[in-house]
Structure 1
């Protein structure tokens, strides 16, 4: 599986206090699921966060955050964060907060 192990550990540490998480192999990486809904994950070039369409403007204001376009098509409500963004504790925290706000409001699967 092609994903950055260091970013995986960093994201896993960020999520240490979040209950209801599971890991799932997806998109050639690892996704973290909250109550069965995708929350965030790591891939070979960085990480992604599911912030929802309403939170996209705030997420895109985070330095280094970009729209997710995994297969060449933009994935609404998903944000891509490269290694530089992931190295910034405040940026990671902002993106995770937005993702948790969105995903925690979804019905469990």
Structure 2
């Protein structure tokens, strides 16, 4: 399974309710939600990928269901996974979404790849 569509739908609804302009893109083995052309939050299997930023990274790792985001053997500082059981309620999902949206304005954009 690439990503849980139920979680993706919940994120999409929450972003819309927060009046955020976003784009959903398939990447990193899941679905990423781009805000201001930057990866903000995503879904991978039955968990979310949250871009919380390096300043909140350690505090986030102490939260229930939160682990380092690691695809290549090296943790991605500022990005965490949050397991599905830790985002069952809308309040839990909103907690993580707000962390991501708060970091988004200062997050760096990745370099755009040329399509050649």
TM-score category by the smaller chain? 0.7 to 0.9
Could you say which residue in structure 1 is the equivalent of 2:13? Answer: 13
Could you say which residue in structure 2 is the equivalent of 1:101? Answer: 102
Q: Which runs of 5+ in 1 are unaligned?
A: none
Query: Is contact 1:4–1:43 with CA below 8 Å preserved after alignment?
Result: yes
Query: Is contact 2:53–2:107 with CA below 8 Å preserved after alignment?
Result: no
Could you say which residue in structure 1 is the equivalent of 2:114? Answer: none
Q: Which runs of 5+ in 2 are unaligned?
A: 111-116
The runs of 4+ residues in structure 1 deviating greater than 6 Å are none
SS at structure 1 position matched to 2:2: coil
Structure possessing the higher radius of gyration over alpha carbons? 2
Distance of 2:14 and 2:98 partners within structure 1: 10
What RMSD over aligned residues (CA atoms) do the two structures have, in Å? 2.0
Give the paired residue count.
109
